[in-house]
Chains A and B, each alone.
Chain A
Amino acid sequence: MTSNQAIRWVLKPAVFLAALVPFGLLVRGLLAGNLGADPLKEITTGTGLWTLRFLCITLTVTPLRRLSKWNGAVRFRRMLGLFAFFYGTVHLLIFIVADRLAGLGFPPLAAWQTFRDLAASIGGEIYKRPYITVGFTAWVCMLALAATSTAGMIRWLGGKRWQRLHRLVYVAAIAGVVHYWWSVKADLRGPQTYAVAVGALLVFRIVWWARARASVPARRARRAAAS
C-alpha cells in the first residue's frame, strides 16, 4: 500500500470516526439520561468546546506540515475544518431548538408564522447579546468556508481567491474564543487556554508571513547580483 492509499483508506476513515466520538458520546449521554442534572449545559458547552478544538486542530495542520515536512498532513485539513463546522452547527441548533423554539412554546414547524417568529427571536438575541453576535459571526465564517470546500468550488473561485476567502478561518477562531470568553461568568481559565492556543497558531503564521516578505527583496537582490 502506498502512503497515498494509506491516507485515503486507513488514516482518513480513522480520523473521521474519531472525530465523531465526542458527538456520539453526547448523544448517548443525552438518550441514556446520564449527563447529570443539567444536560442542556453539557451538550451546549460540549459542542461549543469541540468546535473550538477542531478549529485549533485544523489550524495546526499547516504548521505541522511545515515543521515535519510531511505534506500528507494537508489531506486532513478539509475534513477537520468541516468537523469544526459540524460541531458549531450542532451547537447553534441546540440554541435554536432548546432555547428559542422552546421559548416560543414549540409552535407547528411547517407554518410561515413560526418561521417568522423564530427568525425574529434568533435575530433579536444575535442583535442584543454581544457574545451571541460574535458566536454567530464565527459560525457564518465557517459556513462560508464549508460551502466553498469542494474541489469544484476551488476551481470555480480560483486558487488565489479561494485562499484569500479561507483566511476567514482566522476570524472564526478568534471570534470563537471571544464568544467563549464573553459567555463565562467569572472563571476565565477555559477561554484563556483557547486564547493562548489560537494565539500561538496565529503567531506561527505571522512569523512566516514576515519572513516571506523579508526574503522577497533579499531574493531579488541575490538574483540581480548573480546576473
Chain B
Amino acid sequence: MLIKPPADIPSSEITDKKVYLNRRQFIRTAAGTALAAGAGVIATEKLLGAQQPAPHGRKLVTKSSPLSTKETPNTWEHITTYNNFYELEPGAGNGPSRLAKSFKPAEPWTVSVEGECAKVGKINLEDILKGETLEDRIYRHRCVEAWSMVIPWVGFPLGNFINRCQPTSKAKFVEFTTLLDPRQFPGQRLPVLDWPYVEGLRMDEAMHPLTILGVGLYGEVLPSQDGAPLRTVVPWKYGFKGIKSIVKIRFVEKQPVSTWQKTAPNEYGFYSNVNPKVDHPRWTQARERRLPSIFQNRPTELFNGYGDQVASMYTGMDLKKNF
C-alpha cells in the first residue's frame, strides 16, 4: 500500500459532496451499505462518489477542466456500443458492448506497481483515487482506423499517481498491462494478439497534464467495454495507446514494446502520435470521419490538435521514423 500524500482537496469540496446527496439518496445508500456483504464494493463506490443514480449506471462527482474541448461529444450510445476492445471481441464494432457482461471488474480492483520506483507494491483502486479530484475531460479521440469521436472522459492526471509512486532516476518509461483473464475476456481465448495487452509511454508523455487515468464517461462510472475500471487516455495519440482495465504499472529504463507494435511493427510504432503525414501502410491518415459521419472528409490534425501542448516533447525527433 502506498503512503498517501497530503490531501489536495479543499475541505469545502468534501462538504460539497454531502450537499450533493439529498437525504433520500443518502438513506438508500445507507441501506445498500447495510445490506452489501462486500465492504470493498462500498468503499470504492464511496470514493467514486457513486451514490447518485445515473441514466446508465453510477454517477461520479466531477469538476470541469479547462483542458476540455468545446466540441460536441458523441452520444453515450455511440461511445459505449462502438469499441475496440479485443479482450472482449476482436475488431471495432458492437461486439465488446454485447459481451460487456462477461467482464465485471473485481472489487476491490488491484493494481501492481513495479520496477524503478520507491513505492513498489499492490494498491487498490480506492487508494489510487484517494485524494484525487475527478475531472471531466472532453477530448478528441482519433482511432488509428481513421475515425474519430469526442469523448467526455472522467479521470485525473496520471502524473499525480506517478508522483505518488516516486519513480527513480532510472525510470524512463512507464509500461502498462491489461488484466489477463480468458474466463472474463473471451477475446483472450483467441490467438489474435499476444495477450495480455501491453502499452507504454515515455516518462514525459505519462507526466503530461493531458494524460489521464480514466475511470468514467459522461460523469458516470466507466462501462466494461470502455476499459473499466481504470484506463489511460492520451488524446494526442491514436486510441489504441489508451490501455484498458489496467492491472500493472511498471517503471522501466528501456522503451517497452507495445502489443500492436509486436503484432505488426511496420504498421504500429511505439509513439503512435496522431500524424496526418504518416500513413498507415493500408490507408491514409490525412483525413478522418467524425462519427457517425460516413464521409472521410475531416482533415486530421498533427497531434490530434493538441500540438500546442505536446509538440515540444518531440522537437528534433523524426516523426516519420518514430511513428
Nearest neighbor of A130 in chain B, beta-carbon distance: B282
CB distance from A24 to the nearest CB of B (A): 18
Given contacts A41-B93, A131-B282, whether A33 and B292 have CB atoms under 8 Å apart is yes
- How distant is the Cα of A189 from the Cα of B147 in the complex, in angstroms? 23
CB–CB B297/A37 < 8 A: no
CB–CB A103/B286 < 8 A: yes
Chain B proximity mask over A15-47: 1 for CB below 8 Å, otherwise 0: 000000000000000100100111111010000
CB–CB A37/B291 < 8 A: yes
Asked if B265 is at the interface (CB within 8 A of a chain A CB), the reply is no
CB distance from B284 to the nearest CB of A (A): 8
Q: Which of B44-52, B74-82, B306-314, B315-323 contacts A (4 or more CB under 8 A)?
A: B74-82
Instruction: Give the interface size bracket for A toward B.
Output: 20 to 34
Q: Which of B17-25, B84-92, B170-178, B221-229 contacts A (4 or more CB under 8 A)?
A: B84-92
| Residues of chain A lying within 8 A (CB to CB) of residue B86 | 186-187
Asked if A154 is at the interface (CB within 8 A of a chain B CB), the reply is no
CB–CB A40/B294 < 8 A: yes
Given contacts A103-B297, A186-B192, whether A38 and B283 have CB atoms under 8 Å apart is no
CB–CB A37/B192 < 8 A: no
- How distant is the Cα of A33 from the Cα of B291 in the complex, in angstroms? 12
Residues facing B in A149-177 (CB within 8 A) are none
Asked if A182 is at the interface (CB within 8 A of a chain B CB), the reply is yes
| Residues of chain A lying within 8 A (CB to CB) of residue B286 | 103
Contact of A38 among B77, B147, B282, B287 (CB under 8 A): B147
Residues facing A in B52-91 (CB within 8 A) are 74, 77-79, 81-82, 86, 90-91
| Residues of chain A lying within 8 A (CB to CB) of residue B281 | 129
- How distant is the Cα of A106 from the Cα of B74 in the complex, in angstroms? 25
CB distance from B73 to the nearest CB of A (A): 12
Contact of B295 among A102, A183, A184, A186 (CB under 8 A): A102
Asked if A99 is at the interface (CB within 8 A of a chain B CB), the reply is yes
Nearest neighbor of A182 in chain B, beta-carbon distance: B282
Chain B proximity mask over A128-158: 1 for CB below 8 Å, otherwise 0: 0101000000000000000000000000000
Asked if B166 is at the interface (CB within 8 A of a chain A CB), the reply is no
- How distant is the Cα of A182 from the Cα of B282 in the complex, in angstroms? 9
- How distant is the Cα of A184 from the Cα of B292 in the complex, in angstroms? 21
Count A/B pairs, Cβ under 8 Å. 74
Residues facing B in A26-83 (CB within 8 A) are 30, 33, 36-41, 43
CB–CB A102/B296 < 8 A: yes
Asked if A105 is at the interface (CB within 8 A of a chain B CB), the reply is yes
CB–CB A187/B292 < 8 A: no
Nearest neighbor of B143 in chain A, beta-carbon distance: A38
- How distant is the Cα of A129 from the Cα of B281 in the complex, in angstroms? 7
CB–CB A37/B190 < 8 A: no
Contact of B90 among A30, A183, A187 (CB under 8 A): A187
Given contacts A37-B149, A38-B292, whether A105 and B93 have CB atoms under 8 Å apart is no
Asked if A10 is at the interface (CB within 8 A of a chain B CB), the reply is no
Nearest neighbor of B147 in chain A, beta-carbon distance: A38
Asked if A200 is at the interface (CB within 8 A of a chain B CB), the reply is no
Nearest neighbor of B286 in chain A, beta-carbon distance: A103
- How distant is the Cα of A102 from the Cα of B295 in the complex, in angstroms? 6
CB distance from B296 to the nearest CB of A (A): 5
| Residues of chain B lying within 8 A (CB to CB) of residue A98 | 289, 294-296
CB–CB B294/A186 < 8 A: no
CB–CB A36/B91 < 8 A: no
- How distant is the Cα of A187 from the Cα of B189 in the complex, in angstroms? 12
Asked if B263 is at the interface (CB within 8 A of a chain A CB), the reply is yes
Contact of A103 among B81, B193, B282, B287 (CB under 8 A): B287
Given contacts A103-B287, A106-B297, A186-B193, whether A37 and B90 have CB atoms under 8 Å apart is no
| Residues of chain A lying within 8 A (CB to CB) of residue B190 | 187, 189
Of all A-B residue pairs in the complex, the 7 with the closest CB atoms, nearest first, are A37-B82, A187-B90, A37-B78, A102-B295, A102-B297, A40-B294, A99-B296
13 additional contacts (CB under 8 A) given A36-B78, A38-B82: A37-B81, A37-B291, A38-B93, A41-B92, A41-B147, A98-B295, A102-B296, A103-B286, A103-B287, A131-B282, A184-B91, A186-B263, A189-B190
